[in-house]
Structure formats: C-alpha cells, structure tokens
Amino acid sequence: MSKVRTTVDPGVCQMVAVIAASCEDGQNAKVSVESPCANVQQFAAQVAELDVFAELGDGFDGAIYQAFRGA
C-alpha cells in the first residue's frame, strides 16, 4: 500500500489543510482532507475516492478539476 501525507499552509487565511492519500491497488486512491475551511471541506467530499489513471487521462476534465470548478 502506498501512502502520502502533506500539510498545506495557505498563508493569508491561516486555514491549514492536512491532506492524506492511500492506494492499495495501484489505481484507486482514498483521499482525506482535514481543514476548517468550508470550501475545502466541500472540495474534499467530492474527491474522497479517485481513479488515479482516469485523472491522468482526463486531464482538465478529471474529478479534481471538476471539483475545483464547483468549489
């Protein structure tokens, strides 16, 4: 299983986000985001599970970009 965790400090708003992702099968990732920001929480709910290969193939039409556009 692959795991990654990072902290994002946005600066101005002071609403730090902790992002963690794990992938057991090499393709489908589970993503969690902890943040006090309502916009980030809304985004996180839309990207909780991702097909990594689909994200790479879809480019700017993938789930991550779609979630950003809706946030």
Model's pTM, two decimal places? 0.80
Tell me how many degrees the CA angle 15-56-36 measures, rounded to the nearest 5: 10
Crossing angle of helices 63-70 and 38-46, rounded to 10°: 150
Which pair of structure tokens corresponds to residue 41? Answer: 């929480």
Give residue-wise pLDDT tens across range 14-60: 999 999 999 999 999 999 999 999 989 999 999 999 999 999 998 88
In what helix (H) or strand (E) does residue 52 lie, and over which residues does it extend? helix 52-58
pLDDT value for 12: 87
CA distance 39 to 65: 14
